[in-house]
Amino acid sequence: MEARSALPLLGFRKRRPRALLSHQVRALCRARGLKRWSALLTQTRSRIGVTMRQRLGDANWKAFVRYAEVHYKEDFLRALTPPTGRLCCAGKIDGTPCPNNTHVDLHTVSPADLASLLPTFHMDHTYDVAHICDVWGRALPPNPVSWDEGVCGALVAHLLFGTEDHVLTACSDRPIWRKQIVVRCGNTSAKQRADGFCHDTSNAHYGHVLHVSDIAWPAEEA
């Protein structure tokens, strides 16, 4: 084995330790992520629960919430603290780069400035949440015995909560297994058009359509 001092000569160089984010910055980002998570899943009239709680039934709904919290919650909360420490708008859903180059350096921003900036970074789904729930509901049998009866539960959850590429992308190039939630710039109002921002909350993503066959398991032959 080569001596440690010889490693740089062989192309191995000591890496600088990555600068850590302050506790205040992490706490602010996590609080923002928790607010989004609650609005999406756990509050009384959450975006998913408003339709799927009744469709699934109470027991199946609770099982789905547990699954999401175990498999997706922490990654979802980390979406606002990227490893680079640079929180950036991903641009518009059609691939157009962010015209405002919206970004913030989490290593240098003050907690006060970050508190005012975070609401302008939206966690945007590739497929509209109501559309995902509609397709999911139609794919289920009339009286499901589980939240994922007859459907690929991992894919349903990924479409709703996936902030990273799913592991199945190693064997599937289908876009629905890619990261489904990205950060886009917006304002703090409930409704806005995408004229000045990358996240258009006034219109569903009509160009991104799912079908029951995308999430349903093939029917077994008799």
Digit-coded pLDDT (tens) for 3-21: 444 434 434 344 444 458 8
Rounded Cα distance, 32 and 68, in Å: 18
Q: Which of 92, 120, 93, 91 is nearest to 104 (CA)?
A: 120
Count other C-beta atoms under 10 Å from residue 218's C-beta: 6
Pairing state between β 103-105 and 86-88: antiparallel
Predicted local distance difference test score (pLDDT) of residue 191: 55
Predicted local distance difference test score (pLDDT) of residue 196: 76
Predicted local distance difference test score (pLDDT) of residue 1: 34
Angle between helices 49-56 and 129-139 (to 10 degrees): 10
Predicted local distance difference test score (pLDDT) of residue 203: 66
| The model scores a pTM over 0.85 | no
Below-50 pLDDT ranges, the chain: 1-18, 220-222
Predicted local distance difference test score (pLDDT) of residue 9: 41
What are the beta bridge partners of residue 105? 86
Predicted local distance difference test score (pLDDT) of residue 10: 39
